[in-house]
């Protein structure tokens, strides 16, 4: 069961002088661990990175707000880092569209499309919220449902 008795083990435990100190072993194992993850993860990461050329065309999205909501297919916007994003917002009621995190906002009045253009410089998921005119209350720290979500992926 225990092969340590033979002299050809990695670190013969029978001779305590030959055993590297605990700290050294500890960190060498950590090193092995990190190296292994790199070896496995990096090829997985490079593939998508190579698949994208530089962004040139702005990514255009429509937000058609009716009854404080947008159609299901408009609820998630996927872009990649450093894409230029162009939102075209129309609404059946006056109010403001806020993009949290990016601190972008645009006022909307019924019957006229409003545009919002910005560069998606930071990765993550961000909420796009609808604040109808006259609704200022902040009753809790959990926001209401988002109008839509902007997902910015790394390249």
**Region near other proteins per CB under 8 A, out of 59-67, 89-97, 108-116:** 59-67
The three-state secondary structure class of 68 is: coil
Interactions with other proteins, residue window 83-122 (CB under 8 A): 100-103, 121-122
Q: How far is the CB of 80 from other proteins (least distance, A)?
A: 11
- Residue among 53, 56, 61, 91 that touches other proteins (CB under 8 A): 61
Report CA 14 to chain centroid distance, whole Å: 51
CA distance 28 to 20: 10
- Residue among 94, 110, 132, 144 that touches other proteins (CB under 8 A): 144
Among 142, 148, 117, CA closest to 130: 148
Find where tokens 């906002």 sit: 105
Q: Is 36 in the site for other proteins (CB under 8 A)?
A: yes
Largest CA distance in the chain: 86
Neighbours of 139 (CB within 10 A): 6
Q: Which residues in this chain contact other proteins in the complex, by CB under 8 A?
A: 1-5, 9-14, 16, 19, 21-23, 25-26, 29-30, 32-34, 36-37, 40-41, 44-45, 48, 59-62, 69, 72-78, 81, 100-103, 121-127, 138, 140-146, 149, 151-154
């Amino acid at each position: 069961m225990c092969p340590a008795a033979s002299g050809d083990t990695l670190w013969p435990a029978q001779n305590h002088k030959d055993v590297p100190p605990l700290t050294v072993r500890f960190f060498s194992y950590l090193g092995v661990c990190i190296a292994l993850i790199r070896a496995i993860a990096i090829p997985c990461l490079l593939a998508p990175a190579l698949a994208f050329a530089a962004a040139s065309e702005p990514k255009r999205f429509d937000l058609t707000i009716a009854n404080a909501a947008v159609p299901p297919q408009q609820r998630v916007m996927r872009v990649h880092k450093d894409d230029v994003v162009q939102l075209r917002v129309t609404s059946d009621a006056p109010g403001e569209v806020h993009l949290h995190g990016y601190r972008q906002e645009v006022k909307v009045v019924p019957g006229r499309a409003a545009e919002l253009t910005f560069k998606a410089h930071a990765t993550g998921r961000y909420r796009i919220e609808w604040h109808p005119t006259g609704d200022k209350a902040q009753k809790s720290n959990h926001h209401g449902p988002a109008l839509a979500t902007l997902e910015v992926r790394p390249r």
